Amino acid sequence: MDALNNLMYGFGIALEPMNIAYVFAGVFAGTIIGMLPGLGPISALALMIPITFAMEPSSGLILMAGVYYGAIFGGSTSSILLNAPGVAGTVATSFDGYPMAKQGKAGKALAIAAYSSFVGGTVSVIFLMLVAPLLSKVAVSFGPAEYFALMVLGLTAVVSLSDKSLVKGLIAAVVGVMISIVGIDMQTGTERFTFNSINLLDGIDFLVVALGIFALAEVFYMLLRGGGGKEAPRNAIGSLKLTRSEVGQIAGPVSRSSVLGFFTGVLPGAGATIGSFLGYSMEKRIAKDGDTFGKGNIKGVAAPEAANNAACTGSFVPLLTLGVPGSGTTAVLLGALLVMGVTPGPMMLEQRPDVFWGVVASMYIGNIFLLVLNLPLIPLIAKILDLPKPLLLSLILIFCMIGVYGMSFSVFDLLLLLGFGLLGLGMRLFGFPAAPLILALILGNIMEESMRRALQISGGDWMTFVDKPISLSLLLIALLSLGLPLLKKRRKKAAVAE
Amino acid sequence: MTSLSLKRLAVLALPMAALTTIATAAQAQEWTPSKSIEFVAPANPGGGWDTLVRTVSRVIQQEGLADKNFAAINVPGGGGAVAWAQIARDSGNPHKLFATSPPMILVPLAGASRYDHTDFTPVARINTDYSIILVAADSEYQDVNDLFTALKENPRLSVGGGSAPGSMDHISIAGLASAAGLDASAVNYIPFSGGGDAMTNLMGGHIEAVITGAGESVGQLGEGSQLRALGVSSEERLGGALAEVPTYQEQGIDYSFDIWRGVMGAPDMPEEAVAYYEELFAEMLETDAWRQASDQLGWIDAYQDSEEFGAFLDEQQEQFSSVLSDLGLLRQ
């Protein structure tokens, strides 16, 4: 088998002592970076370009790729423990991870996150190895119309993410879209919602909103309720061990989300964040106990964690086979490769097989390192929850502020963070769900740009969204996923009536 | 976010910078950078500005021309306007440079930026690149005339570019269209977030053609490529990987378009700093590493110092504003 030969060749490169050291250094640094909100993989990689400049291209990419997937792996930790997502891709993990931690099952949540990340990462490396060259076709098959349809499908998750009141969920989603279009419009150069403030020209960074609405709002909420917060059991990290039935429960979600996440990652412009949301909402809809999602369901941790790691690996497909970066992080990787004198693209597999196969092989090794590295760390890191509440709350506050300030060096962003914290608090007090807002914030801008581009190509003909098979299928799935829950509800009502 | 990471880099570099400042205090008259130089590409990675920024940074580092590192930063959005707004806030900063080219003139003329070239400090013109028209490898169009014949019949035919309407790629193809006897506004120009994005959409068959920088397209042309070039906007054929691509003039259309590239700095950059950079870039153009990179990318050296470059920019502004008003795109 060809792939096997190539893989052996790749392992030959990845197992060179120096490269093993690079994988280890990469995933270790990545884990730490991922845990700290604000210090994302993009900034870490940009910092490393001068270091990798003089390296062998394969070693350089092995190191940098390790940082990237290591960060996504480690990003779940602060999502689960503090409700403060370390990287954008792990926002969805906090939906069920944080409730689990509050119930004294932090250890279990972290362990599930680690196992799921490992499976997601490994499954997608296998895909990357077997079908990467073929998938370059999939990556380019998505034009503006298809992206619009995909974003619509993603947005239907608003329904399943707004538990009690659909109206409140939709209101939150609309606010999310509005936040996403703040800044200079790429299509025309027009300023929107900037209120003539130069600080808003670049738009509002996703993490400012996420940290405000989740972490800061949580701090405010606890303060409002007297700061004592006696409901959280002390010393309750809980066991790391999963029972056989728990493993059975997450096996399905993890494997489905791994595949889904990988394909989301392959599309330039989608990536880990969208992948994790799609995985989460898919599982919530499929699950029989979908109602308990958001309240500490282990599947709600497993699905987004498998998906975001799989998507991270998937995003290497357009990067390495087309020379097109699919996300901010892979864009920095592309830049680094160019600096090292390697031009990723259709010819790379033939011209630089050492880089491609070396990196693929190193990903197997890296994922094992991550698992071995993270599991023993869990009890240590989870001890942070043992801190007295006043200390813990101040710590979260400082964490968020350093994260945001470190990203932009702008005091204005700190005020924004505070504003979004208050918005999040208000939303909680009045029963508005935060997840739809975040989802709409991620998808809104891409959806709008894709729609306008598609219409311009079609000369204003809306049929373009229905004429293209991929776009049509995605829209039909979206329609289906909107219709099914309603049908389910009606059937339930009918059953109750009988 | 890439832009912000570099600020962090700058902060990390501060302690080191402090040390070197002490070391060089003796020779204080001549200005030298005291920390990493932020070199901004006002677009996504993979584009023309990005290629310039990264190549310049690499050559300077490779040849050891500067004591301090040139750190490449991408600040995409608004055809450059987002980056300019950021840099305009940094008045007097001698450690902030950015790559520039015709959009520096065109975007403000289209009313899409609060800042124009007069708000910044011209440092040096470096070289020039040209526009190139690409189609899918299996496209029915064999030359530029085929494409324009098809455009005449089907005005909806979509041509993608990497920048906003009224900016460089759009002006280049609109000017070509009018030289070929079409109405300049007849081209259905689709703006993408960068040349790379536009080329991906061309590979996927979502658009019919792409107009982008010749340098930017080199990585996507050649053996095994999914794309093919129809024509290039230079007066004479380019070398290297683009030697096979005919000029517009060879194909009977009397039109050429230069994509000059240069470096500008933050507003009111100190004169000593400008002098330092002028000399640095002039020196860089003489190196072998630069020669080799330019050949690969199809660039042609076109150095001007700060004063010449400033005057040149004023001229360009006059020229472009008359083209734009012909097109009905002038908004200033």
Q: Residue B226: what pLDDT?
A: 85
Mean predicted lDDT score pLDDT of chain B: 83
On whether both B207 and B148 belong to a single domain, the answer is yes
Q: What is the mean pLDDT of residues A331-360?
A: 80
Please give the ipTM for the structure prediction.
0.77
For the ranges A350-359, A485-494, B207-216, B297-306, the lowest mean pLDDT is seen at A485-494
On whether both B118 and B134 belong to a single domain, the answer is no
For the ranges A361-375, B118-132, B134-148, B159-173, the lowest mean pLDDT is seen at B159-173
Structure confidence by residue, pLDDT tens digits, A106-135 = 899 999 999 999 999 999 999 988 887 788
For the ranges A341-350, A367-376, A411-420, the lowest mean pLDDT is seen at A341-350
Q: What is the mean pLDDT of residues A251-264?
A: 93
More confident residue, B95 or A86: B95
Q: What is the mean pLDDT of residues A291-305?
A: 92
On whether both B242 and B266 belong to a single domain, the answer is no
Bin A196: left if φ > 0, else alpha if -120 < ψ < 50, else beta.
left
pLDDT band for position B11 (50/70/90)?
Answer: very low
Locate the chain A residue with the closest alpha carbon to B74.
A332
| Model confidence at A54: pLDDT above 70 | yes
Residues 6+ away with beta carbon under 8 Å from A457 = A143, A144, A145, A464, B158, B188, B190, B206, B207
Pick from B239, B258, B277: which residue ends a domain?
B258
On whether both B103 and B217 belong to a single domain, the answer is no
% of chain A residues with pLDDT over 70: 93
Nearest to A43 among B1, B191, B223 (CB): B1
CATH code of the domain in which B187 resides: 3.40.190.10
Which residue in A12, A15, A69 sits closest to A41, CA to CA?
A69
More confident residue, A447 or A343: A447
**What is the span of the domain harbouring residue B221?**
130-258
Domain count within chain B: 2
% of chain A residues with pLDDT over 90: 38
The CA distances from residue A67 to A47, A55, B16, in Å, are 11, 16, 25
CB contact under 8 A, A183 and B4: no
On whether both B143 and B101 belong to a single domain, the answer is no
For an interface test with B, the pick among A43, A185, A448 (most B C-beta atoms closer than 10 Å) comes out as A43
On whether both B209 and B153 belong to a single domain, the answer is yes
For the ranges A173-177, A222-226, B24-28, the lowest mean pLDDT is seen at B24-28
CATH code of the domain in which B288 resides: 3.40.190.150
pLDDT band for position A272 (50/70/90)?
Answer: confident
Q: Is B91's Cβ below 8 Å from some Cβ in A?
A: no
Pick from B220, B242, B258: which residue ends a domain?
B258
On whether both B237 and B280 belong to a single domain, the answer is no
Q: Residue B46: what pLDDT?
A: 59
Q: Is the dihedral of CA B84, B85, B86, B92 positive or negative?
A: positive
% of chain B residues with pLDDT over 70: 87
Whose structure tokens read 């908004």?
A: B331
Q: Helices A298-314 and A57-74: crossing angle, nearest 10°?
A: 160
* pTM as predicted: 0.79
Whose structure tokens read 């992948």?
A: A275
On whether both B74 and B91 belong to a single domain, the answer is yes
On whether both B120 and B9 belong to a single domain, the answer is yes
Element (H, E) at B131: strand B121-136
Mean predicted lDDT score pLDDT of chain A: 85
CB contact under 8 A, B9 and A42: no
Q: What is the mean pLDDT of residues B147-151?
A: 92
For the ranges A24-28, A84-88, A155-159, A491-495, the lowest mean pLDDT is seen at A491-495
Q: Spell out the domain ranges in chain A.
A: 2-142+250-418
Pick from B198, B231, B258: which residue ends a domain?
B258
Contacts of A47 in chain B (CB under 8 A): 5, 8-9, 12
Q: Residue B309: what pLDDT?
A: 96
Contact present, B98 and B42 (Cβ < 8 Å): yes
Nearest to B224 among A139, A347, A408 (CB): A347
On whether both B269 and B253 belong to a single domain, the answer is no
Q: Residue A189: what pLDDT?
A: 66
On whether both B213 and B74 belong to a single domain, the answer is no
pLDDT band for position B332 (50/70/90)?
Answer: low
User: B121-136 and B209-213 as β-strands: parallel, antiparallel, unpaired?
Assistant: antiparallel
Nearest to B207 among A325, A407, A457 (CB): A457
- Rounded-to-integer distance, Cα A106 and Cα A373, Å: 18
- Rounded-to-integer distance, Cα A435 and Cα B30, Å: 56
On whether both B112 and B155 belong to a single domain, the answer is no
| Model confidence at B15: pLDDT above 60 | no
Residue B24 maps to a domain:
no
More confident residue, A161 or A474: A474
Residue B183 maps to a domain:
yes
